[in-house]
Amino acid sequence: MKKLLLSLAVFSMFFSARADEGMWIPMLIGKNYDEMVRLGLKLSKEDLYSINHSSLKDAVVQFAGGCTAEMISDKGLLLTNHHCGYDAIATLSTVQHDYLDNGFWAHNYAEELQAQGVTVIFLQKVTDVTAEVQAAVGNATGDDYNKKFEAISKQIEKRENNNGKLVANVREYFNGNQILLLTYKRYTDVRLVGTPPKSLGKFGGDTDNWMWPRHTSDFSMFRVYAGKDNEPAPYAADNVPYKPAKFLPVSIKGEHQDDYAMIYGYPGRTNRYEVSNGVSLAVNMVNPAIVKIRDLRLSIMRKHMDADKHVYLQTTSLYARIANYWKYFIGQTEQLKRLKVVDEKKAEENKFTEWARQNAPQDADLMDKFANLYNAYTPYAIPATYYGECFRTSGMGRLGAALEPVQRMLTEHKEDSAKLYLAQLKIARRAIMKEYDPGTERDLTIAMTKLYYTDVPKDMMPDIYENVIFKKFGKDKAGKNLGDAMYADYVDYMIKHTFVLDSNAFNAFCDAPTLEKISKDAAAEYGISFAKNYKDRVLPKVEQYNNDKKELAKTYVHDLMIWKKDKMFYPDANSTMRISYGQVKGYDPVDGVHYKYFTTLDGLMAKYKPGSDEFDVPADLIDLYNKKDYGRYADADGTLHTCFITNNDITGGNSGSPVINANGELIGAAFDGNWEAMSGDIAFDKKYKRTIVCDVRYILFLIDKMGKADNLIKEMDIRANKDINRNED
């Protein structure tokens, strides 16, 4: 494969007029500045991103590793989505103190609750290290490239992290054509400050998820604490609220159709340079398999959650995570088909091939190489999907599989290495047991073990089925075939004959691990069988596919940028900070139907269903609604706006992202996308793509009127009609 190297300067030369599409790298956002001003922006380039002074990027953090949040006071107060804080809120809740269902508001610092395991990171700077990395990896490909890339990345990160005071990450952009170093500060003392009750924070539940119109108050509030020097420090009673370099003022002026809107955040993953073969595989095989598996998982979990409040609190966060992307994959498949994305990509690829024959003849067969790659991988797509979505559902199975390297090290008499794997096993077990319920685990393992055998090709089946399940549990004493009952009998046997679920037995094993204990453990037998089967039969094909695809995609994106030199390309999302900009806009989902850009509390109350798990609301809100007691948070039309939509480009990871107006003020918290544009992670649709936002006025109303947390209201810089004059460079 030829050497590919495009500098940061080259990437920044491309331009485009499609303001609403694009997840832009902060240090390059100045290249979009004229278009942003045309749409209404009143800030300077330095206000957006600066390496020498505080800027908007300093007010935005990555929250809990998978969401975004924003600083909204000079005392470390942080706003994110309710679903981003969901796990922390559920973990802090008990049957006696159910903060998740009842809501929670701290009226002073002393009442704030430690959110264990929650971290936030602040981006310090972004540096282009493309040339340095390329010099180190040369023309390496495949596993050789991965090893060299990992080695040089660790070297750069170690140099940058300032003896552990900073977090440094080397990341690939544009499918490996550009490499950036991102430097962060990580704060680990984060405390829960406030959350509306779940009935409001998840109003609409799975029914309304990914849909517009929406009325969800999807927000929660935390506070970042630091040592007395304002630097990161472990949790301590005498830590003080963090003083951010920048925090966002809050506007209650209200937004209108076509108003400027800007979003900063940490979008997770997009795959917009995917070729038609990959989209076809997702639509026809992978997505339907994920939906089928998750549908069954959710039905089993719901049964146990509904029967026991303790189980509900213990597993509700996991349930929410599974359900979110269960519906996502349904919508993505539907919209990719509706928009005929496979056909559109094929047409584009045909044009590319014609261009390549004249301008890059060495790549004229690139699409044929992609087709061959996907043809070779397709037989392994279902086994790979079922291993991740089906087998790894079982806590017993995962823990059993994690005993394999311990077994291997003990066999090779490498006791010190075995201890390292045991330390990792302990960490994994703590995470698993946090959401572990015996009844749910049993039923899930039974159902998933059966489903795996039913749907995965028989020539890729773990030997646990023939050697143990069918042989020992397939028939009763009279020789009668037990059918599905054998799976239940087998799982019951496994539960009784494993030490991984019993804390005392597990700790005793870790203190004195032996090969005999592993060999006699039923969960180890089960997990190791699945893991070994995957490692031997499937993983090599998955790794080969990933390596080959990476090389082809790198070439494809490189050539696209040369072919379409008048277009500005943005890199796929990769959980690093991005900026998108656009406008507040309604849309027409189908012929004859128009969606306004906002919703109101009137619409929420029209959906109200007493006793419903998805559409019930607290009595306090009903009372405030009946009195129309909206205070200064009412819109000029007299209603209380709950949510609004923009045409900004976001994806998962942007949950909690600040939606910022032309003056640099917070007007809402982004929390979802819309059903008609669920194809967005693969194909952006300019006509339908919308970001769903919780209006900050609704957020403040709930804090003030329902939460009676006037202390938090006073802490923020709330503006009604203030304007900011733009300072030109």
The C-alpha atoms of residue 691 and residue 210 are separated, in whole angstroms, by 10
Give the CA-trace dihedral at 362, 364, 368, 370, to 10 degrees.
Answer: 70
β-pair partners for 692: 645, 672
The residue annotated as part of the active site, out of 73, 93, 199, 655, is: 655
The residue annotated as part of the active site, out of 20, 55, 58, 83, is: 83
Question: Could you tell me if 216 and 208 are in contact, meaning their C-beta atoms sit under 8 angstroms apart?
Answer: yes
CB neighbour class for 678 (10 Å; exposed up to 12, middle 13-18, buried from 19) = buried
The C-alpha atoms of residue 329 and residue 336 are separated, in whole angstroms, by 10
The C-alpha atoms of residue 446 and residue 260 are separated, in whole angstroms, by 52
The whole-number pLDDT of residue 20 equals 67
The C-alpha atoms of residue 431 and residue 269 are separated, in whole angstroms, by 24
Average pLDDT per 10 consecutive residues for the chain, totaling 729 residues: 42 43 91 94 96 95 97 98 97 96 98 97 96 96 95 97 93 96 98 98 97 98 98 97 98 97 98 98 98 97 96 94 95 96 98 98 98 98 97 94 96 94 95 94 97 96 96 82 90 97 96 96 97 97 96 97 92 97 96 97 98 97 97 97 98 97 98 96 94 98 97 97 44
Domains in the chain: ranges and CATH: 8-119+188-270+573-719 (2.40.10.120), 276-550 (no CATH)
Helices (H), 598-672: 601-607, 619-627
The three-point CA angle 254-214-38 to 5° equals: 45
| Residue 64 neighbours by CB distance under 10 Å | 22
The residue annotated as part of the active site, out of 47, 128, 208, 218, is: 218
Question: Could you tell me if 678 and 335 are in contact, meaning their C-beta atoms sit under 8 angstroms apart?
Answer: yes
Residue 97 catalytic? no
Three-state SS string across 495-530, please? Answer: HHCCCCCCHHHHHHHHHCCCHHHHHCCHHHHHHHHH
The C-alpha atoms of residue 370 and residue 384 are separated, in whole angstroms, by 19
Cis ω before 513 (30° cut-off from 0): no
Sign (positive or negative) of CA dihedral 605, 607, 610, 615: negative
Residue 53 catalytic? no
The whole-number pLDDT of residue 722 equals 52
Residue 655 catalytic? yes
Question: Could you tell me if 639 and 605 are in contact, meaning their C-beta atoms sit under 8 angstroms apart?
Answer: no
Give the CA-trace dihedral at 597, 603, 607, 609, to 10 degrees.
Answer: 140
Question: Could you tell me if 653 and 66 are in contact, meaning their C-beta atoms sit under 8 angstroms apart?
Answer: yes
Q: Which amino acid is at 529?
A: S
The whole-number pLDDT of residue 285 equals 97
Q: Which amino acid is at 418?
A: A
* Helix 366-389 vs helix 539-563: crossing angle, to nearest 10: 140
Q: What are phi and psi of 669, to 5 degrees?
A: -115, 120
